[in-house]
A and B are shown apart, each in its own frame.
Chain A
Amino acid sequence: MTIHTETDSNTQALLAAVNDVFEQMIGLAPNSASVSAAPELSGDIVGALGFCGSRSGLCVITANDDLARVMCASLLMMEPEELTDPADLSDGFGEVVNMVLGGFKQHWVEQGNTMDMSVPSVSFGHPVTVAAARKQCDLFCLSLAFDAGNLGVTLVFNN
């Protein structure tokens, strides 16, 4: 497994995609954002979206419950206390994963690659962990801190 801790173009594109979604559609700005040396593959809520094409892999976004509720409520133009239906939380969080990977895909395709995305899946738990990192893979990991909690973004490319 190779964890990319340098700020290369893929990492920059991933961070730009995350920031774009949060700024434009959620209206939240992180207090800090950094490239992580380890993937965050567990959280109270985990959204994962697989892809294939030039390379196959997985995009995983994790958050604690408070941050997930703030994010999804804002995205769906609701108040956090109105998010009583788990389906709204699941749909909203899945859409965030979809938009983040969709944003990254633009960069990926511009580099001459192809990418076909699956539909997102969202899991809840305390915590849920995704077993995504194989022995032979490239990992791009981000950690973003918000007032309501932390967000982990991990992009896994299988080799």
Chain B
Amino acid sequence: MGHNILIVDDSATMRKIIMRSLRQSGIEAAFSEAGDGVEGLAALEGGKFDLILSDVNMPNMNGLEFVKQVSEKHADAPPIVMITTESSDAVQSALENGAKGYLKKPFKPENVQEVVTPLLG
């Protein structure tokens, strides 16, 4: 059975790369896209998602604020944040805000699979 995955990133190219990485990994899913946290929350109001992949640095509402609101209002949709550094501060901040995991950018396709698969069950 396919999953519903929401990808939140202000780069359309990066959203495309993530979708292709997941498809290449054999993950069957219907993908929805949002360009920032505000659009991401709107998408969550209109649909049910099994997983969210969100960038951190975005206009209007950044990824940390987004996952914080997701954990408060949509606890059934586990968010993964994409961070550009694995410094303990960045990871801790993401997890404290409600992220269930993180993916360091830049990444290989197999890195996406490693992070996503356990949360899809």
Residues of A within 8 A of B (CB): 20-21, 24-25, 27, 75-77, 91-92, 94-95, 98-99, 102-103, 105-106
Contact = CB atoms under 8 A, between A and B. Distances in A.
Contacts, number: 41
B24 interface: yes
Contacts of A24: 106-108, 111
Interface in B95-121: 105-109, 111
A103 B12 contact: no
Contacts of B108: 24-25, 27
Interface in B41-95: 57, 84-85
Interface of B: 11-14, 16-17, 20-21, 24, 57, 84-85, 105-109, 111
Contacts of B13: 76, 91-92, 94-95
Given A91-B12, A95-B14, A98-B11, A106 B21 contact: no
Nearest to B10: A119
Nearest to B105: A99
A102 B105 contact: yes
B106 A21 contact: yes
B25 to A, nearest CB: 11
B84 A75 contact: no
B114 to A, nearest CB: 13
Q: Which residue, of B12, B20, B24, B84, has the highest number of chain A Cβ atoms within 10 A?
A: B84
B41 to A, nearest CB: 23
B106 A20 contact: yes
A77 B21 contact: yes
A25 B107 contact: yes
Nearest to A77: B20
A102 B17 contact: no
A86 to B, nearest CB: 14
